[in-house]
Amino acid sequence: MFFSTYYPNVVHYTQGNTPYLTYIFPSAGFANFTVNLDGTHKISNLGDGRDMGDVVAIKLGKDICSRFDVVQSAINPWSLQMITCI
């Protein structure tokens, strides 16, 4: 979560509420390979494999990493968690 002040170019982040990635594994792959995005995410509803939940899109470079047909349990949005895509 962030807020800005009137002072130009100043943005403040509330500690513990800023999403970030710690790693993407594997760092290189081929089509239809599983990719794991580990970090603190802002979402918890990952859907059920057909319903995408709160995930709008995951892009790796110019490619979409799909969550379609990926079934994963709900995650805690403010702790270190993993999101899987293909």
Which tens digit of pLDDT belongs to each residue from 53-67? Answer: 888 888 888 888 888
**What's the distance, CA 67 to chain centroid?**
11
Query: Which residue, chain included where needed, has tokens 């962030």?
Result: 2
d(CA 62, CA 84): 18
**Model confidence pLDDT, tens digit, residues 26-61:** 877 778 889 998 998 888 888 887 888 888 888 888
Residues listed for the chain: 86
Listed in order, strand segments (DSSP E) in the chain are 2-4, 11-13, 20-25, 35-40, 59-60, 63-64, 80-85
Backbone angles phi, psi at 16, to 5 degrees: 85, -5
